[in-house]
Amino acid sequence: MARQGMVMVDGVAIRAAEAKVDPESVKITVGGELMNYRRYTWVMLNKPSGYLSATEDGGGETVLDLLPQDLRRQGLFPVGRLDKDTEGLLLLTNEGGLAHALLSPKRHVDKVYYTRTAGQLVEEDCRAFSEGLVLGDGLHCQPAKLEILLSGEESEALVTLREGKFHQVKRMLEARGKPVLYLERIQMGTLLLDQSLSRGSFRFLTEEEIAELHALV
Ligand code: URA
């Protein structure tokens, strides 16, 4: 396309495909269409159960298998992990610095999970969460929020955490004797899981959403 004169940089056809330009300070059009340059890519995925939050499979399917080939080539990785059977909001990006900051417990970025548990959740469980649970293996959890939505033989609740240790929600509820039957992340910082995304589908974050993530950290 460059050789055919279709690629214009600031209105000048650039015929050498190897030409280097600063994409942040020039206007590039291809066939008259303005190219929107994005240094980093941010994707919100509605993760289905059955996919590993990893970039390489050890035989199983990873969340990257849910993205088209051209996106997979951009070096995207999941921002934190959801368990294989956990569903919902998973961000993928190639912007390492911001991804790292969002995961740091020091930055206080809330992650909100919807869960269904076996056993009856009661106020005493909420108090234990807010005081900071100590798990069976001695792990001290930071204070977390448990909001009961439905209390019965099976219960439903929202859990808000600022850290993300291995299997944390499951281990915290297990420690209260209410094992998790189902887990879905519905929020991360300022981002809510987009209800228009069906399971397994994704969309790009908007510029505003990315700016909000930056502002968080
Ligand atoms: N806590 C868990 O136990 N599992 C997840 O996937 C996320 C948080």
Tens of pLDDT, residue by residue over 20-69, are 999 889 999 999 999 888 889 999 999 999 999 998 867 789 999 999 99
User: Residue 101: its pLDDT value, please?
Assistant: 93
- Candidate list 83, 85, 110, 194, residue with the active-site label: 83
pLDDT digits (tens, 9 = 90+) for 118-136: 999 999 999 999 999 999 8
C-alpha 46 to ligand 1 mean position (Å): 15
Q: Whose C-alpha lies nearest to ligand 1, atom 3?
A: 167
Q: Whose C-alpha lies nearest to ligand 1, atom 7?
A: 82
Output the CA–CA distances (angstroms, integers) from residue 193 to 1, 40, 84, 108, 190, in the order listed.
39, 20, 18, 19, 10
- State yes or no: is 22 an active-site residue: no
Whether residue 180 has pLDDT greater than 90: yes
Name the band, by pLDDT with cuts 50, 70 and 90, for residue 105: confident
This prediction has a pTM of: 0.88
Lowest mean pLDDT among 69-73, 129-133, 179-183, 195-199: 69-73
Characterize the bridge pairing of strands 33-34 and 154-161. unpaired
Name the band, by pLDDT with cuts 50, 70 and 90, for residue 107: confident
C-alpha 43 to ligand 1 mean position (Å): 20
CB 141 within 8 A of CB 135: yes
Mutate which of 160, 163, 170 for ligand 1 pocket (most atoms within 8 A of beta carbon): 170
User: Residue 37: its pLDDT value, please?
Assistant: 82
Q: What is the mean pLDDT of the chain?
A: 94
Residue 45's closest CA among 189, 177, 208, 205? Answer: 205
Whether residue 159 has pLDDT greater than 90: yes
User: Residue 60: its pLDDT value, please?
Assistant: 82
C-alpha 172 to ligand 1 mean position (Å): 10
Q: CB under 6 Å to ligand 1: residues?
A: 82-83, 86, 167-170, 183
User: Residue 179: its pLDDT value, please?
Assistant: 98
| Residue 161 CA, closest ligand 1 atom number | 8
